[in-house]
């Protein structure tokens, strides 16, 4: 290969860019081009002009569905069911591959503990254990067992790394953090994605400890390749290489490109910066062997996805595998389990299917586009079910509140203020929605609040005054039907919060696994760790979610009072459905190291199980403790220290049965 041919393989452009028109036959990857006919036409033109006949790798943002749109990832994390995430990713891969796409820029596995950051919608929330489980599931779903199969696309775990910790929750902002926080909180989902076999990673926009991730050797080489043995390739985010000029670590695109590829970046997205590296090589400032290494990684991926064996897409296949009844049924099933019942005073829910007149109101009551959420692939509003349509399929709907017996208010955010470049300084209901809600309560009629959003909102007034609240997120193509299924009791809600819900934005960042203080919060003592103008703690804790039935926890057991470093210990409890209808409970397992050489979080999630129980049924749920679960990052690497550990099994991060055991040498 010539040097220009090599650098072309390391360049990703949009087909509409002038730079692409001038380099057809050289460019290695194209983004935002979809449809079998369109990708085939572009592939033919490329291969005709490519001396070595190297095909294009087509990439697209298939985040939570391609044409059949699933709940946003934050909502899918609310299922606490990685198998459902894997199913959604597999269906998305099937539809995307039929449209000529071989590579998705997903999953987004950033941990986010600041809901002001709009991209919290795209990930699994605040916890690394839950985040890692979902990350691995998505990779398995997208890639399957054979990347050349017609239902597989190359996954891209993003944004590597710590992008979710952007200062102030402002998108693209800098990140400063300790190595311990990086290793324990922000890297585990990426490591899980690598272990699951993700073919690619995307470097984050942000700087990490003053070095942009796009050229951060510690991330791209020390950890990713040397420690984790990653063999795929790393792509920049959109124009991420030339943005290093604004970061202040390069004066020219040429310098930025040299620093990026030297640090371990393999492909530049959009900015065509790697084309300038020919000058760097010929001037002796960049060894060509560095370029060769990156090219090998990219070509290896193209071989793995079967591009050299078959660079084209069957143009008849999409109609048979896109937006099928099977896919829509899966979208509905996942959406049903993504919703969280936050309040149900007086058992207002489920609603009766007859005998009552229901008014469905609010700016999102009949919105199809907003139901799709941000990054909705090729999803179409006209193929989406609104809340109004879903409820109307069950019972008669009145728009006149005066004649209604009860009100369903669908409030929240427009999809445009979630996702990328959608950071918010306020987490309140936008515009005049709070006044609308207050007027509905003032009517004296029972009100059910359905919250559609891409982040947790500060709904403290609603939590005090509204009888029933359902956090619905953005649920995708079948969202309206799924909401009706839950509101009318066809489905018993089982979702749990993957994030902490603050009372007010002033509490942010707020998360359950915080470090202890020398002066723990105490409402009776002024000089303790709290705010003076709001109650202690969140509005709703991480892991919280109600059901139409009631679960009781009892009879906590440990298999032994202690374990050695190489042992395993089991912890179990009995869960009983004490209500009168079947339901599913997400049982959660937490650990705390109360005395260590460094302060440890007050609780850390280390296990969870979804358990189905008939009325009156009892099941014993068991978790296993290993040394790895007790380790933390130190200046000597991963370390577990002997001593006493606390454990909890419960329905959320606050409540539950507590015990302890000793870790011995």
**Hey, which residues are catalytic here?**
237
The DSSP secondary structure of 174-218, one letter per residue, reads -B---HHHIIIIISHHHHHHHHTT-SEEEE-SSEETTEEGGG-HI
Cβ-based burial of 636 (10 A; exposed 0-12, middle 13-18, buried ≥19): exposed
Measured distance CA(107)–CA(135) in Å, rounded? 7
- Hey, which residues does 60 pair with through a beta bridge? 104
Query: Can you tell me the distance from the alpha carbon of 646 to that of 545, in angstroms, rounded to the nearest whole number?
Result: 23
Between vectors from CA 462 to CA 460 and to CA 466, what angle results, nearest 5°? 145
Give long-range contacts, CB 8 A cutoff, 24+ apart: 630-633: 630/591, 630/593, 630/663, 632/180, 632/184, 632/593, 632/596, 632/598, 632/600, 633/179, 633/180, 633/183, 633/184
d(CA 497, CA 487): 18
**In terms of Cα–Cα distance, which of 517, 542, 515, 540 is closest to 605?**
542
Phi, psi of 208 (to 5 degrees): -120, 115
List the 57-60 sheet strands across, edge first: 103-104, 57-60, 29-31, 11-14, 268-269
Secondary structure percentages of the chain, helix, strand, coil, to 5: 35, 20, 45
Of 207, 189, 99, which Cα lies nearest the Cα of 138? 189
Beta strands 29-31 and 57-60, pairing class: parallel
Point out which residues pair with 570 in neighbouring strands.
624
């Amino acid at each position: 290969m010539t040097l220009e041919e090599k650098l072309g393989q390391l360049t990703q452009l949009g087909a509409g860019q002038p730079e692409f028109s001038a380099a057809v036959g050289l460019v290695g990857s194209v983004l935002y081009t979809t449809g079998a006919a369109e990708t085939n036409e572009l592939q033919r033109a490329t291969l005709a002009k490519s001396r070595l006949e190297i095909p294009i790798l087509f990439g697209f943002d298939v985040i939570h569905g391609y044409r059949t749109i699933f709940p946003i990832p934050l909502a899918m994390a609310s299922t606490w069911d990685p198998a459902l995430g894997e199913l959604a990713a597999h269906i998305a891969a099937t539809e995307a591959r039929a449209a000529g796409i071989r590579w998705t820029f997903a999953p987004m596995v950033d941990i986010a503990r600041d809901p002001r950051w709009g991209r919290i919608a795209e990930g699994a929330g605040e916890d690394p254990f839950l985040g890692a489980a979902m990350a691995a599931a998505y990779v398995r779903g997208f890639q399957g067992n054979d990347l050349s199969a017609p239902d597989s696309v190359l996954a891209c775990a993003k944004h590597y790394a710590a992008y979710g910790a952007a200062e102030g929750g402002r998108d693209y902002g800098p990140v400063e953090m300790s190595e311990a926080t990086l290793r324990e909180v922000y890297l585990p989902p990426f490591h899980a994605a690598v272990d699951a076999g993700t073919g690619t990673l995307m470097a984050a926009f942000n700087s990490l400890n003053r070095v942009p991730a796009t050229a951060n050797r510690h991330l791209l080489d020390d950890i990713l390749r040397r420690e984790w043995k990653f063999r795929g390739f790393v792509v920049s985010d959109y124009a991420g290489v030339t943005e290093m000029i604004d970061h202040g670590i390069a004066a020219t695109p040429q310098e930025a490109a040299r620093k990026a590829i030297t640090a371990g970046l393999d492909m530049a997205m959009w900015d065509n910066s790697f084309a300038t590296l020919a000058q760097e090589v010929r001037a002796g400032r960049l060894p060509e062997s560095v370029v060769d290494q990156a090219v090998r990684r990219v070509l290896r991926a193209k071989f793995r996805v079967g591009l050299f064996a078959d660079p084209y897409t069957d143009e008849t296949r999409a109609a048979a595998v896109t937006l099928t009844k099977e896919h829509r049924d899966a979208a509905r099933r996942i959406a049903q389990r993504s919703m969280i019942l936050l309040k149900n005073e007086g058992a207002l829910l489920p609603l009766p299917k007859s005998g009552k007149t229901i008014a469905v109101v609010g700016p999102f009551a009949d919105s199809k586009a907003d139901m799709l959420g941000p990054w909705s692939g090729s999803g179409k509003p006209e193929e989406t079910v609104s809340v109004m349509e879903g409820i109307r399929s069950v019972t008669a709907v009145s728009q006149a509140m005066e004649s209604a017996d009860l009100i369903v208010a669908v409030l929240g955010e427009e999809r445009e203020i979630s996702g990328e470049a959608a950071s918010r300084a306020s987490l309140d209901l936008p515009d005049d929605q709070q006044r609308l809600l207050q007027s509905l309560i003032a009517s004296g009629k029972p009100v059910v609040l359905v919250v559609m959003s891409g982040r947790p909102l500060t709904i403290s007034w609603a939590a005090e005054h509204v009888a029933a609240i359902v956090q619905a997120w953005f649920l995708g193509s079948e969202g309206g039907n799924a909401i009706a299924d839950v509101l009318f009791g066809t489905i018993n809600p089982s979702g749990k919060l993957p994030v902490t819900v603050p009372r007010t934005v002033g509490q942010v960042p707020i998360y359950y696994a915080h470090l202890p203080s020398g002066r723990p919060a105490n409402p009776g003592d002024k000089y303790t760790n709290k705010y003076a103008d709001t109650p202690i703690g969140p509005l709703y804790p991480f892991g919280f979610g109600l059901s139409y039935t009631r679960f009781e926890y009892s009879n906590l057991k440990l298999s032994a009072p202690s374990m050695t470093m190489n042992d395993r210990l089991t912890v179990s409890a009995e869960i009983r459905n004490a209500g009168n209808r079947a339901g599913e409970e997400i049982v959660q397992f937490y650990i705390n190291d109360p005395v260590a050489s460094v302060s440890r979080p007050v609780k850390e999630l280390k296990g969870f199980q979804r358990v189905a129980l008939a009325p009156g049924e009892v099941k014993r749920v068991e978790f296993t403790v290993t040394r790895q679960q007790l380790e933390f990052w130190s200046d000597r690497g991963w370390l577990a220290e002997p001593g006493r550990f606390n454990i909890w099994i419960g329905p959320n991060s606050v409540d539950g049965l507590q015990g302890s055991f000793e870790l011995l040498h």
